[in-house]
Amino acid sequence: MTLPSLNDVEEKLNSNDSRDRLLALVSLRDIPAEQAVPLILKVIDDENLQIRSMAVFALGIKPTDACLPTLVKILETETDYGIRAAAAGALGYLRDPRAFDPLLRAFYEDVQWLVRFSAAVSLGNIGDPRAYDALIQALGSKETVLHQAAIAALGEIGDLRGVDRILDFVQSEDWLTRQRLAEALGNLPCAKSLSALNYMVKDSHPQVAAAAEYARDRLQQKPLQDL
């Protein structure tokens, strides 16, 4: 496959036409990170929110030394909460343990649920067990999406202490929450997880039942731990 000329991409990124800049960003997906990131940074403060959001996301999937500090700065100083949420999500893609502290601060201090949601998901992606207390706190939120993010993240970090707490959602009215619960239980190998999954395979929602069956099959291949 022929890669785009970097000079052509840079020219389009400098265009006054937002469509040109957007297409230029898309064309960078096949360019190595070291070459792509300097070009992505040219539009990291673009006036067009869609372009900025895409540029922020791109830094998460094109990791270089410049990405972490740039994303942390955006997370901590950006006024638009959608861009802050994008930065939190991109930090999760980096899977860099140095992102733990800024993500935790965003989770505790940001007033927008979307940013807190992205931070919770990313804490799970990083897999740092220090996120346990924050994620447990998120289970008490009024926002269903935060329940979903916290349940999934608790499964990612694999801390069995969370099993009893997330099992409170086994009969949640929200089917996506139940699906996230089934997926998380597949990463938490204990007798309570297996028992819950045996129950959830009979769930009335087909996606929940399928997720529970898959998670149960995974769990049955692992030695179960004591709580």
User: Which of 137, 161, 139, 133 is CA-nearest to residue 151?
Assistant: 139
Q: Domain 1-64 adopts which CATH fold?
A: Leucine-rich Repeat Variant (1.25.10)
What are the tens digits of pLDDT across the range 145-198? Answer: 999 999 999 999 999 999 999 999 999 999 999 999 999 999 999 999 999 999
At the second CATH level, the architecture of 67-157 is Alpha Horseshoe (1.25)
What are the tens digits of pLDDT across the range 17-44? Answer: 999 999 999 999 889 999 999 999 999 9
User: Which of 47, 103, 44 is CA-nearest to residue 72?
Assistant: 103
Q: Where are the domains of the chain?
A: 1-64, 67-157, 170-227
b/e 17-47 (16+ beta carbons within 10 angstroms → b) = eeeebbebbebbeebebeebbebbbbbbebe
3 pLDDT above the threshold of 70: no
3-class secondary structure, 190: strand
95 Cβ contact list (under 8 Å, min separation 6): 125, 126, 127
pTM of this structure: 0.89
2 pLDDT above the threshold of 70: no
**Based on the number of CB atoms within 10 Å of its own CB, is 214 exposed (0-12), middle (13-18) or buried (19 or more)?**
middle
Amino acid letter, 44: I
Task: Collect contacts of 75-80 with beta carbons under 8 A, ≥24 apart.
Answer: 75/102, 75/103, 75/106, 75/115, 76/102, 76/105, 76/106, 80/49, 80/52
What are the tens digits of pLDDT across the range 82-132? Answer: 999 999 999 999 999 999 999 999 999 999 999 999 999 999 999 999 999
Taking the C-alpha atoms of residue 65 and residue 62, their distance in angstroms, rounded to an integer, is 10
Taking the C-alpha atoms of residue 111 and residue 169, their distance in angstroms, rounded to an integer, is 25
The DSSP result for 99-129, as a single string, is GHHHHHHHHHH-S-HHHHHHHHHHHHHHT-G
